[in-house]
């Protein structure tokens, strides 16, 4: 598993910081919440998301739960990073509604998720944001299921023009180019308030 970018780039700006990470120089930004000044650096005192307030010239860290390993039954939210014929790779970003600092890989077996009689449909596409349930963690692989009404794609973009898709009649339609797309949508797809 690759390490977070913040570990490699010690002195560069980071959006997610680990304790001790360089955030800014004191000339640029004042040390805000969950940070400390040390010599010519403002550093993070907690793991979390870096927030820079340009008007106050202040850098702060919003704490993020350091994720435990996904376990069977967890609800996850992530983005499809790879979509193959029968599987899709998902980068898990939320675990039971809490943003994870580390991101975990998950796999959806789209072939086994298909409705009966060999029906062919597109379950997920590259770039989709999906809500899924951890079905198995056998051999260290987070196998994800989207086979419930509240699970599936919660946000997607038009594969023709890249605009955000909106909810149509059981399908998703692009308001820009009229393209209609099929997915295994979650029941709250296209609503204003998606909860991870
Ligand atoms: Zn479009």
Same domain, yes or no, for 46 and 22? yes
Domain assignment of residue 122, yes or no: yes
Domain assignment of residue 93, yes or no: yes
Whether pTM exceeds 0.85:
no
Domain assignment of residue 37, yes or no: yes
Query: Which tens digit of pLDDT belongs to each residue from 100-133?
Result: 877 799 999 887 554 544 555 788 999 999 999 9
Same domain, yes or no, for 53 and 149? no
pLDDT of residue 18: 84
Domain assignment of residue 11, yes or no: yes
Q: How many domains does the chain have?
A: 2
Domain assignment of residue 70, yes or no: no
Domain that holds residue 116: 75-181
How far does residue 61's CA lie from ligand 1's centre (Å)? 37
> What integer is the mean pLDDT of 45-62?
91
How far does residue 168's CA lie from ligand 1's centre (Å)? 13
CATH code of the domain in which 13 resides: 2.40.50.100
- Residue in 66, 65, 55, 59 with CA at minimum distance from that of residue 22: 59
Is the CB of residue 119 less than 8 Å from the CB of residue 84? no
**Residue 47 to residues 60, 64, 74, 77, 131: CA-CA distances in angstroms?**
11, 6, 22, 20, 25
How far does residue 182's CA lie from ligand 1's centre (Å)? 13
Same domain, yes or no, for 27 and 117? no
């Amino acid at each position: 598993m690759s390490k977070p970018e913040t570990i490699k780039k010690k002195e560069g700006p980071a959006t997610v910081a680990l304790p001790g990470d360089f955030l800014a120089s004191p000339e640029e930004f004042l040390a805000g919440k969950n940070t400390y000044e040390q010599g010519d650096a403002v550093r993070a005192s907690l793991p979390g998301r870096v927030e820079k307030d340009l008007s106050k010239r202040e850098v702060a860290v919003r704490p993020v739960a350091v994720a435990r390993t996904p376990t069977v039954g967890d609800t996850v939210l992530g983005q499809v990073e790879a979509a193959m014929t029968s599987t899709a790779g998902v980068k898990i970003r939320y675990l039971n509604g809490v943003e994870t600092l580390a991101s975990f890989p998950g796999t959806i077996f789209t072939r086994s998720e298909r409705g009966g009689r060999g029906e062919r449909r597109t379950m997920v596409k590259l770039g989709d944001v999906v809500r899924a349930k951890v079905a198995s963690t056998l051999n260290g692989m987070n196998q994800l299921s989207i086979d419930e009404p509240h699970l599936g794609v919660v946000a997607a973009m038009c594969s023709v023009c890249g605009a955000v898709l909106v909810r149509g009649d059981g399908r998703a339609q692009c308001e820009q180019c009229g393209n209609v797309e099929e997915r295994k949508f979650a029941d709250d797809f296209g609503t204003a308030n998606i909860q991870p």
